[in-house]
A and B are shown apart, each in its own frame.
Chain A
Amino acid sequence: MKVEQPQVRLSVGEGCTELKRKYDQCFNRWFAESFLKGARGAEPCGDSFRRYQRCVRRAVRDKDIPVDGLDFMGPNKDKPDGFTGTSPPDQDQMGPNQDQMGPNQDQMGPNQD
């Protein structure tokens, strides 16, 4: 299968990429074929997720990346009007390798023109 992908590390933990790939494959399949079609149960990827997680948590600890206690704009609690499907809010944390940027208590909004 030809897939053009840039050369990247893929996981924060260098040794975790293969485990991540296995988990991603399982999750993406469940997401597209079960979750988006209305299935309510948890994803069946528990095993691959646990293995992948162990690896990632070790890497995060070793690299001293602060991943807990960060506060972000939360997801909407309300579902959009007229939409009866699931609305999965997703929170992504962006952070450089060395450091994580987090929001301040006093927030300044961007230019409102």
Chain B
Amino acid sequence: HPWETVTKAAMQKYPNPMNPSVIGVDVLERSVDQQGCLHSKRLLSTEWGLPSIVKSITLTNLISVDEKLTYKPHPEDPERTILTQEAIISVKGVSLSSYLEGVMATTMNTNAGKGREALEWVIRRLNTEIEELAATARSTIRTPMAAAVTDQ
């Protein structure tokens, strides 16, 4: 999909059925800087349905995950977008066994796939809304009005 399509979808990624744990998203800050870059600080509210042992580990902030997704237009194909996904997993005071590291890596890969599926879902939904709007417009706009609108 072209970069514009992907970006529009990414801004409206939640909620979606592939990420049922994300139950809310809020914008905390937003601005356009002097270079024309849009900065958004958003808070995602999640409900993992965790068993209490995992919850207590989370509450003591033993593990943190910092993830960065970058969407860039494909340098050769305007119909495609390149997604680069990086994650830094930090553990406080404890060494992760290589088994747990492996589990983390696998989980991140699975989630990356879900993330792409989620965007596809959002893109389909946005396209459906556009088609439905267009269909409604076609059936209600009369010809003289349409001619006046296009005559700029």
Q: Give the interface of A toward B (CB within 8 A).
A: 1-6, 8-13, 16, 20, 23-24, 27-28, 31-32, 35-36, 40-43, 49, 52-53, 56, 60, 65, 67, 72-73, 75-76, 80-83, 85-99, 101-104, 106-111
- B20 touching A6, Cβ below 8 Å: yes
Q: Name which residue of chain A comes closest to B60, CB basis.
A: A99
CA distance in complex: A105, B65 (Å): 13
Q: Is the CB of A80 within 8 A of B65?
A: no
* The residue from B22, B26, B59, B90 contacting A99, defined by CB atoms under 8 A apart: B59
A68, closest chain B residue (CB):
B28
Interface size on B, residues (CB 8 A): 67
Contact of B68 with A73 in the complex, beta carbons under 8 Å: yes
- C-alpha spacing A82/B101, complex, angstroms: 37
Encode B45-81 as 1/0 by CB contact (under 8 A) with A.
1111000000100110101111110101101000000
CB distance from A8 to the nearest CB of B (A): 4
Q: How far is the CB of A3 from chain B (nearest CB, A)?
A: 6
A3-B125 in contact (CB<8A) = yes
Determine if B48 and A9 form an interchain contact, defined as CB atoms under 8 angstroms apart: no
A-B contact pairs, 12 of them (CB 8 A): A1-B132, A5-B15, A9-B23, A12-B24, A85-B3, A86-B37, A93-B43, A93-B44, A96-B46, A104-B91, A110-B87, A111-B101
A108-B32 contact, Cβ under 8 Å, with A36-B4, A36-B8, A90-B40: no
